[in-house]
Amino acid sequence: MKQILRLGRDPIDKILSRTDATLDVSDVVRGIIADVIARGDDALYDYGERFDGCRLSALRVSEEEIADADLAVDGEMKRIMRRAADSIRSYHSRQLRSGYMIADEDGVILGQRVIPLSRVGIYVPGGRAAYPSTVLMDAIPAKLAGVGKIAMTTPPGRDGKVAPVILAAAAIAGVDEIYKVGGAQAVAALAYGTATIPRVDKIVGPGNAYVAEAKRQVYGRVGIDMVAGPSEILVIADGSAVAGHIAADLLSQAEHDKNASAVLLTDSESLAECVAAEVERRLSVLPREEIARASWENNGKIIVAGSIADAVAISNELAPEHLELCVRDPFGLLPSIQNAGSVFLGADCPEALGDYMAGPNHTLPTGGSARFSSALSVDDFVKKMQYTYYTRDALALKAADIAAFAESEGLSGHARSVTARCGE
Domain 26-224, CATH: 3.40.50.1980
Tell me the HSE value of 317 on the side-chain side, using a 13 A CA sphere.
14
Q: What is the mean pLDDT of residues 257-268?
A: 95
| Residue 213: active-site member | no
DSSP structural state of residue 203 = E
- Asked if residues 152 and 179 have their Cβ atoms less than 8 Å apart, the reply is yes
When the pLDDT of each residue in the chain is averaged and rounded to a whole number, the result is 95
What is the chain's Cα-based Rg? Answer: 25
Per-residue model confidence (pLDDT) at position 424: 66
**CA pair distance 191, 318, nearest whole angstrom:** 32
Give me the amino acid identity at 17: S
| Residue 362: active-site member | no
- Asked if residues 195 and 92 have their Cβ atoms less than 8 Å apart, the reply is no
Residues of the chain with CATH 3.40.50.1980: 4-22+229-359, 26-224
> Which residue of the set 232, 255, 321, 351 is catalytic?
321
Per-residue model confidence (pLDDT) at position 232: 96
Domain 4-22+229-359, CATH: 3.40.50.1980
> Which residue of the set 322, 324, 351, 362 is catalytic?
322
**Parallel, antiparallel or unpaired: strands 108-116 and 100-103:** antiparallel
Over 80: is that where the pLDDT of 22 sits? no
Pick the more confident residue, 62 or 257: 62
Confidence of residue 21 (pLDDT cuts 50, 70, 90): low
Confidence of residue 334 (pLDDT cuts 50, 70, 90): very high
**CA pair distance 274, 267, nearest whole angstrom:** 13
- Strands (E) located in 124-219: 149-153, 177-179, 202-204
**CA pair distance 344, 322, nearest whole angstrom:** 8
- Asked if residues 351 and 260 have their Cβ atoms less than 8 Å apart, the reply is no
Reported as a single tens digit per residue, the pLDDT across 351-408 is: 999 999 999 999 999 999 999 999 999 999 999 999 999 999 999 999 999 999 999 9
